[in-house]
Amino acid sequence: MTRRIVRSTVTLLAVLVVVAGPTVPASASRLPLDACSPSGDVCKSVRRVDGVRRLRIMLAADYFERFRLCVTGPDASPTCHTYRIRDLGATFGSSIAWRANFPFEGRGDYKVVWKFIGGGWIGRALGFHVGPD
């Protein structure tokens, strides 16, 4: 009888977890490090390259010449700069060193958004977490 109760309780808890889903709050550390458009024509990344956090956008063609790049750190105030898209040979794009161009606000979550000059986001936001090394 005791095994049946324990088994039923475990099953019920498993169903509740699946139905309710995780209750972790959304944060920049939960945002992806990279993403591409459904067609693959536009890809972005906030990954480290040779120890440097690079904020990259790659385009299959010369779709636009400039863009705004905004980084929101742990203090929740965004810093935005305008950059040019460069001809990279087979593709077009830009690679910006985060620490050289945006303020370091200490440990925590950072959200990165690319925007068209006239407004509107270019794809979804990406994010990364700065923690103890």
- Residue 5, domain member (yes or no): no
CA distances 121 to 4, 103, 115, Å, are 53, 21, 4
Work out how many domains the chain is built from and give that number: 1
Backbone angles phi, psi at 96, to 5 degrees: -110, 130
- Per-residue pLDDT at 133: 60
Task: Kindly report the CATH number assigned to the domain that includes residue 52.
Answer: 2.60.40
- Residue 32, domain member (yes or no): yes
Query: What is the per-residue pLDDT across 110-133, written as a single tens digit (0 to 9) for each?
Result: 999 999 999 899 999 999 999 986
Query: What is the per-residue pLDDT across 18-47, written as a single tens digit (0 to 9) for each?
Result: 233 333 334 555 899 999 999 999 999 999
- Residue 60, domain member (yes or no): yes
Find how far residue 117's CA is from the centre of its chain.
Answer: 20
Mean pLDDT, rounded, for 80-86: 98
**Structural domain harbouring 64:** 26-130
3-state secondary structure of 30: helix
Q: How far is 92 from 100, CA to CA, in rounded Å?
A: 22
Give the position of tokens 């906030």.
Answer: 46
* Inter-residue contact 43 to 124 (CB < 8 Å): no
- Residue 37, domain member (yes or no): yes
- Residue 44, domain member (yes or no): yes
- Residue 53, domain member (yes or no): yes
- Residue 71, domain member (yes or no): yes
- Residue 68, domain member (yes or no): yes
Backbone angles phi, psi at 110, to 5 degrees: -125, 135
pLDDT surpasses 90 at 7: no
C-alpha closest to that of 28 among 112, 132, 106: 112
